[in-house]
Amino acid sequence: MKRVVVGTDIEGVAGVVSMEDQSRNTGRYHDHAKRLATAEVNAAVDGLLDAGVEDILVIDGHGPGGLWFEDIHEAAQLLHGRPGAPRSVRDPILAEYDACVMIGQHAMAGIATSNQNHTQNSREIDYYKLNGQLIGEIAQFGLYNGDLGLPLIFLSGEEAACREAEDLIPNIVTTCVKKGLSRGSAISLSAQASRKKIRAGIKQAVENHHANPIPPLVWEGPFTLEKRFHFTDVTDGAANQLDAERVDGQTIRFQHTEIRKIIYR
Ligand SMILES: [Zn+2]
């Protein structure tokens, strides 16, 4: 295995505890949070290099951008920018890779003991359900990349995110760097300890994957994605999309046979 995609987020990084001050791009400590996230990503890149990986593509997965560009590891390349490229442009690039990992991940919306828990939009979304099952960003990333043939083999982040990943992918290696106590508070490992743990954990993940390969995450279609919002006005807007079906005041539904066309709706 020579080529790995590294998906990043900011809310599951050790030391990043406040949605308002650190994770939002308007937050007064946002730039510092980006540096913390970048250092965890770099620890992951070091661990991948330790394990013999040669081509590392980092994808900045935090909405407004969550990495500090000039500090990113020299061995990695960065895919960034919003709105994202069309799938027809982006997917052939990703499909060339062998596996994917997630760094700095948080748990899905509604997990009360998870620090900064949310799914996609932290102000609007109550939940996402795929074929009746509650999902968060880990399942979205895993299923999207799974459809391109990339197994999700490692995740670092908040403790509830690690449990969520293990429920989805039995043999995934996870590294917990922060234990949420509530949406607003957590116990973080030190920055240095977090980075050491990530470097060792991801190396182990690659070695485990060599010995006992993890299959790409693939669910049986066809797919129904139910998306519930907190407010009816937001739902009004979302329900105007041509292929959206309104379920109730706060909920819409999409149906598709292809996972990549529905999972990020
Ligand atoms: Zn996120």
Separation CA 10–CA 16 (nearest Å)? 7
Centre of ligand 1 to C-alpha 256, Å, is 24
Of the candidates 62, 101, 97, the one whose C-alpha atom is nearest the C-alpha of residue 81 is 62
**8 CA from centroid of ligand 1 (Å):** 8
Class of domain 3-110+138-211 (CATH, top level): alpha beta
Cβ density class 215-239: b for 16+ within 10 Å, e for less = ebbebeeebebbbbbeeeeebeebb
Q: What is the pLDDT of residue 1?
A: 86
Q: What are 127-183's pLDDT values in tens digits?
A: 999 999 999 999 999 999 999 999 999 999 999 999 999 999 999 999 999 999 999
**Distance between CA atoms of residues 88 and 43, nearest Å:** 31
pLDDT for the residue 9: 97
What is the 72 CA–ligand 1 centroid distance (Å)? Answer: 20
Model confidence over 239-249: pLDDT tens digits?
999 999 999 99
157 CA distance to ligand 1 centroid (A)? Answer: 11
Side chain identity, residue 191: A
What residues in the chain have per-residue pLDDT under 50?
Answer: none
Q: So what's the pLDDT on residue 259?
A: 98
pLDDT score of 55: 98
Q: Which residues pair with 252 in a beta bridge?
A: 227, 246
pLDDT on residue 63 = 85
85: which DSSP letter?
A: P
Residue (of 41, 144, 51, 151) closest to 97 by Cα position: 151
* Cα–Cα distance measured from residue 10 to residue 17, given in angstroms and rounded to the nearest whole number: 10
pTM over 0.95: yes
Ligand 1 centre distance from Cα of residue 211 (Å): 30
What distance in angstroms lies between residue 195's CA and the mean position of ligand 1's atoms?
Answer: 20
What is the structure's pLDDT at 191? Answer: 98
Report domain extents, the chain. 3-110+138-211, 223-261
